[in-house]
Amino acid sequence: MDFELSDQQAAFRDLLRDFARRRIAPVAREWELSGRYPTEIIDEMKQMGLFGMLVPEEFGGIGIDAVSYAIVFEELAKAWMGVAGILGSHSLSTWMLAKHGTAEQRRRWLPDLATGKRRSGLALTEPGAGSDLQGISTVAHRAGHHYIVNGGKTWITNARHADPLPVLVKTNPEAQPRHRGMTVLMIEQGTPGFTVGKDLDKLGYKGPESSEVFLNDCPVPVENVLGAEEGQGLQQVLAALEFGRVNIAGRAVGIAQACLDKSIVYARERHAFGRPIAEFQAIQLKLADMATEVQSARLLTWWAASALDSGRRADVETGMAKLYASEICIKAALEAMRIHGGYGYSTEFEIERLYRDAPLMAIAEGTNDILRTVIARHLVRDGRA
């Protein structure tokens, strides 16, 4: 049992850490507060090949392992979680396409997606359907060589840049069980009837847009069915979300580590009653708990990623990692604010941004309560962890 990164993984982590420290951290606070889109950072991520993280090398990607994938999101989120989110949705889309797309679909889209010339996202959530994806109401009816799509999606990251955008629809609303009537359509920019609505205001997760998407008699060619077979959409999406929990867990670890790092620095510098507050036991206890919990979350995330790398289903492992890491992330953000006192509440310090970003980790890629039920079902079914 080896809890250490390989030499290649460690070198990749150092590369990402250096990039985040040099290019993201110095501008994160100012750009986040002003609502500035991180175009320059995205251009550098393209040059580093990060848009092709999960694209096979034959299509121009770098095809990294799941542990390295988690590391990418930890290191980026330590500097600015919003930037990590731009890669999150895109990478899941490329993973689905590489895993489930036809040979023609992979040749058609993956090379440009690998370089970032094209970007993508994942259009699942609707105003009336989030955790219950089988409850979506967006429908697509076959009409000759096209599907005519009607409906709407919300909270879609990269919506304004996605080309193509995988959209989960119902091609047979009467199917039983419901998942047999669900299909993923790859909808390209410029398709008539496909429009992106307003960007939604958010507490945190600034940087990438989170938008509404409207589909009004939108014609999508039959050859844009992911995998060329109807009724496979929910399985394709759930498999992607299983992988996506690793990126959310990685982001949560990154935010929590940033909270710890900044709290240690502040506790050394801040004096009260004639000495650094780091010398007070109350602060030491907080730092010790934070450090222990962050490292536990990191190892749990790597364990889950390793399970994915083995090629088997890892619902329990990824569910546990995302659940624990996100809860620790929220706790670490609150403790960091307590350590910083009034300064933690100020936009002049990074803590308030980390505090605003943390709650999303408990919501994205399956809410934590949903994941608890997933884990519990496996425990009851299998009789063991």
Q: Which of 89, 95, 116 is nearest to 209 (CA)?
A: 89
State CA 222 to chain mean position distance: 29
Report residue 221 as tokens.
């060619």
Question: Does residue 359 have a cis peptide bond before it, meaning omega lies within 30 degrees of 0?
Answer: no
- Bridge partners for 146 per DSSP: 143, 221
Distance between CA 23 and CA 69 in Å, rounded?
Answer: 20
Q: Which of 32, 74, 209, 365 is catalytic?
A: 365
State CA 347 to chain mean position distance: 25
Q: Which of 130, 74, 83, 27 is nearest to 350 (CA)?
A: 27
Report residue 149 as tokens.
């799509």
Angle at 113 between CA 49 and CA 302, to 5 degrees: 55
Amino acid at 246: V
- Are 186 and 140 in contact by the 8 Å Cβ rule? The answer is no
Q: Within a 10 A sphere around the Cβ of 162, how many other Cβ atoms?
A: 27
Residue 365 appears among annotated catalytic residues: yes
Catalytic positions: 365
